[in-house]
Homo-oligomer: A and B are copies of this chain.
């Protein structure tokens, strides 16, 4: 659409109908195919004017190198694998969007690989995936990112990877740290500042690092004000809506109800809503609720849910960019993203 005009050689995507190859480019521009290859691979060993001449031609005929031919010669594909085990849909999709942001126009593509980490041979499944496709690298999303055996296997077969996790648990060149702890602490801060003193916590499963971190962050956050969370005010649930319902039933059953509940994710917060609604406990007047994720659900609920936002798309972008531009990694080497509280309508100071 812009500037360049060359009446004598009209720009068309193909020569004689079929896609052009490195040989066509070499012949038409009068250099060897090796030189064209160097240009494709951004080698510095090409004279500037040669490079420009050839690049102009490539644009003109709409040439782009065949990823399968390159992959065969490199013994490595231009595919990034995203490996995950059943997080929420919005989380998966945001992570994918982020990864795609990072690899756009880079020649890489994103291949999705959900798996079941409870299956005894899921690691073999990932191994086959990585080896057969000769993946350029894989993104490990929580909670598979927490599985050291998986990371060890990838290391062993020489497949690069990036782990996304709440805390550093690998070489920093292979980590994106999400600092869930800080987000939970911010929630604690907020509830304390509103005046809440009898606060409850619904945590995710203890075998999820994110659950442990969010719990620790929340407990520490309250601890900074000298407030201690009694055991009875902490209920472990399963990060699901249904488990949130069960946990909320326990916490809201007695007459000594907490005035605020923090949940390890929004799904469980929706469970709290359900129990509160049908018990006639009004949110936020009689009960304040804070979730974690800032999923779409948070704003769909009524009253809209105050929640800790995770910058999932940024996380995915960072992880994928570490895979496709390991050179730029100096600047990213302590890659991390931070959550923050998004305040909506589900909290207020406690009554009386």
Contact = CB atoms under 8 A, between A and B. Distances in A.
A273 B297 CA distance: 13
Interface residues of A, number: 43
Given A66-B132, A89-B90, 10 more contacts: A64-B128, A89-B296, A93-B93, A100-B112, A107-B132, A109-B133, A111-B111, A241-B300, A273-B300, A297-B300
A334 interface: no
Most buried by B among A72, A114, A134, A277: A72
Contact of A68 (B77, B300, B302): B77
B133 A67 contact: yes
Nearest to A100: B114
Given A66-B72, A68-B68, A89-B92, A300 B267 contact: yes
A245 B300 CA distance: 10
Nearest to A70: B68
Contacts of A79: 109, 111
A97 B72 contact: no
Nearest to A93: B89
Most buried by B among A68, A72, A100, A300: A68
Contacts of A110: 111-112
A19 B297 contact: no
B72 A69 contact: yes
A224 B337 CA distance: 56
A47 to B, nearest CB: 28
A42 interface: no
A278 interface: yes
A33 to B, nearest CB: 16
A307 interface: no
Most buried by B among A66, A94, A97: A66
Nearest to A131: B19
Contacts of A77: 68
